[in-house]
């Protein structure tokens, strides 16, 4: 159930019922009820007795907060990684290949491999504290990305192109360009998720 919440199959605002989920998954209602309680504690569901569980939409303020945290971490890491003798080029190329396969499959799984690409840059910086901090954003990052892609599936190809540009800047050890491209990429995705003018919109 959590996987379906994070990848957008259970969209924000959807009302889920224990009976329907138990039938879909071929299990009893007891583990479904337990899952509902767990997901409510993670602020992914709101429970309504005798009615079901409402999938909590991603709030605009939450998207803003995630963007701010990601900018602080990822811009710094992109600069540092670009200055390395050996940036993780092979890892990032492999990630882009996965993204292309997700695009060919109609976008299925793209949000997850998108997150892997960005994490690879953060992890390559070698600061475990920053990597752990980035990992705390994992579920929100993936869910926001899934929502963004659902609004405009054609944007996946553009995301992949932007990832290639970031990779090229890292290969060339151009720290300013890598940071600039990454910030533009994150802000552009944020603006697509929140079409109204946000606090990071140009």
The residues spanned by each domain of the chain are 2-55, 60-193
Q: Where would I find the H helices in 136-201?
A: 138-151, 155-171, 175-193
C-alpha span between 60 and 81 (Å, rounded)? 31
**How far is residue 200 CA from its own chain's centroid?**
18
- Checking if the pLDDT of 105 tops 80, the result is yes
Averaged pLDDT score across all residues of the chain: 90
Contacts of 202 (CB under 8 A, 6+ apart): 187
> Which CATH number does 60-193 carry?
1.20.120.530
Same fold flag, 2-55 and 60-193: no
197 Rama class: left (phi>0) / alpha (psi -120 to 50) / beta: beta
- Checking if the pLDDT of 198 tops 90, the result is no
pLDDT band at 150, cuts 50/70/90?
A: confident
Element housing 15 (H / E)? strand 15-16
In this prediction the pTM is: 0.80
CATH topology for the 2-55 domain: Arc Repressor Mutant, subunit A (1.10.10)
């Amino acid at each position: 159930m959590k996987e379906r919440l994070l990848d957008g199959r259970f969209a924000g605002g959807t009302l889920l019922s224990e009976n329907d989920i138990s039938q879909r998954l071929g299990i009893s209602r007891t583990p479904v009820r337990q899952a509902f309680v767990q997901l409510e504690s993670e602020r992914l569901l709101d429970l309504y007795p005798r009615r079901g569980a409402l999938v909590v939409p991603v709030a605009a303020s939450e998207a803003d907060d995630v963007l701010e945290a990601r900018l602080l971490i990822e811009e710094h890491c992109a600069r540092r990684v670009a200055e390395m003798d050996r940036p993780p080029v092979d890892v990032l190329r492999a990630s882009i290949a996965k993204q292309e396969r997700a695009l060919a499959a109609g976008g299925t799984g793209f949000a997850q491999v998108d997150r892997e690409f960005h994490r690879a840059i953060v992890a390559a910086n070698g600061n475990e504290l920053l990597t752990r901090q980035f990992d705390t954003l994992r579920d929100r990052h993936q869910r926001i990305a899934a929502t963004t892609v659902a609004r405009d599936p054609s944007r996946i190809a553009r995301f992949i192109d932007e990832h290639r540009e970031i990779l090229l800047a890292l290969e060339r050890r151009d720290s300013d360009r890598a940071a600039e491209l990454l910030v533009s990429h994150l802000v552009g995705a944020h603006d697509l998720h929140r079409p109204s003018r946000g606090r990071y919109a140009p």
